[in-house]
């Protein structure tokens, strides 16, 4: 009986060892790839936000330079075309 329990213990030990090996072989590379992808996306998002901020500042500067904006007729208070006095 002692021999039989020893064999089942070693089979269980090997089974657990194989399962751990599969987990580390399959899961760790997946987690690593996900981490790298997350870092890439974070870097791209930061670059895009910087571009948007730069564009917003340039538009604001352009609006400040333009003191007399051109009004489209539907933007006039009476809603019609501009009239010469």
* Average pLDDT rounded to a whole number, residues 14-34: 89
Instruction: Please determine, for residue 33, whether its predicted confidence score (pLDDT) is greater than 90.
Output: yes
pLDDT tens figures, 46-78? 999 999 999 999 998 888 877 555 656 665 666
Q: CA separation (Å) from 23 to 17, 19, 32, 48, 84?
A: 10, 6, 13, 37, 80
Q: Confidence class of residue 16 from pLDDT cuts 50, 70 and 90? A: very high
Residue 56 has a pLDDT of 94
% residues pLDDT > 90 (the chain): 38
């Amino acid at each position: 009986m002692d021999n039989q329990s020893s064999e089942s213990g070693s089979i269980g030990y090997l089974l657990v060892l194989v399962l751990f090996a599969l987990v580390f072989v399959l899961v760790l590379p997946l987690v690593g790839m996900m981490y790298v992808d997350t870092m890439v996306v974070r870097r791209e998002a930061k670059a895009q936000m910087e571009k948007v901020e730069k564009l917003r500042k340039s538009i604001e500067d352009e609006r400040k330079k333009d003191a007399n904006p051109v009004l489209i007729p539907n933007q006039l208070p009476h809603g019609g075309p501009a009239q010469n006095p």
